C-alpha cells in the first residue's frame, strides 16, 4: 500500500512540474552538465541539512559523468546562507535568489524543492522536501537521465 501511495504521489509531483523546455532559465547559467539537479533551499530548512551531504555525494559520484548540481538559496539575507554553508559545506555550485525570481519560474512550493533537468531544460523529475529513505529513488532518476544523455550525445 505504501508503495502504491508513493507512486501516486510521485506521479502527481511529476505532473505538477513546470513545463520548462528549450533552455534552462538564465538564472541558472552557466550550465555545463548534461544533466542538471536544481535544488532550492533556505538556511532555516531542516531537511536541507540532510540533502546537502547527499548532493555532495552525488556530485562526487556523478559529476565526472556529466551531472551538474546547482543549489539556489532563497534567503533574503546572504549572511544567513553563508552561515548555513559554513556548517554544511557545498561541493557544488550555489546561486543566490533573494528576490525569488528563479523560484517563481520553477513554481517552488516547499523547501527543499528539487528538479532534475536535461541539458535542454526539460524537467525530467521533481520532488518537494528531502527524505533520506527516498534518496535511492532520486539517485536512480539521476542515473537514468545520465544514461539517456549518453545515448543522445
CA nearest neighbour of 138 among 6, 5, 4, 2: 6
pLDDT at 10: 36
- pTM equals 0.81
Q: Give 52's Cβ-side CA count (13 Å radius).
A: 23
Tens digit of each residue's pLDDT (9 = 90 or more) over 43-82: 999 999 999 999 999 999 999 999 999 999 999 999 999 9
> What's the CA gap between 26 and 60, in Å, rounded?
25
Reported confidence tier of residue 119, pLDDT bands at 50, 70, 90: confident
Whether the pLDDT of residue 41 is over 60: the answer is yes
Mean pLDDT of 16-44: 69
User: 72 with 40: CB under 8 angstroms?
Assistant: yes
Q: Would you place residue 34 in the very low, low, confident or very high pLDDT band (cuts 50, 70, 90)?
A: confident
Residue 24 — very low, low, confident or very high, per pLDDT cuts 50/70/90? low
Q: Choose among 83, 90, 81: nearest CA to 58.
A: 90
CB-CB contact of 29 with 139 (8 Å): no
For residue 2, the model assigns a pLDDT of 41
Q: What is the pLDDT of residues 130-139, one digit of tens each?
A: 999 999 999 9
CATH 3.40.30.10 assigned to 38-152 = yes
Amino acid at each position: 500500500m505504501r508503495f502504491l501511495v508513493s507512486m501516486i504521489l510521485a506521479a502527481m509531483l511529476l505532473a505538477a512540474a513546470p513545463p520548462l523546455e528549450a533552455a534552462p532559465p538564465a538564472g541558472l547559467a552557466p550550465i555545463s552538465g548534461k544533466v542538471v539537479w536544481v535544488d532550492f533551499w533556505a538556511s532555516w530548512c531542516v531537511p536541507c541539512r540532510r540533502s546537502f551531504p547527499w548532493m555532495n555525494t552525488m556530485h562526487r559520484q556523478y559529476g565526472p559523468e556529466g551531472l551538474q548540481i546547482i543549489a539556489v538559496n532563497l534567503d533574503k539575507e546572504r549572511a544567513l546562507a553563508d552561515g548555513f554553508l559554513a556548517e554544511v559545506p557545498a561541493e557544488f555550485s550555489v546561486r543566490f535568489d533573494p528576490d525569488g525570481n528563479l523560484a517563481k519560474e520553477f513554481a517552488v512550493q516547499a523547501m527543499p524543492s528539487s528538479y532534475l533537468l536535461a541539458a535542454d531544460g526539460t524537467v525530467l523529475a521533481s520532488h518537494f522536501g528531502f527524505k533520506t529513505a527516498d534518496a535511492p529513488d532520486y539517485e536512480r532518476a539521476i542515473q537514468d537521465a545520465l544514461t539517456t544523455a549518453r545515448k543522445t550525445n
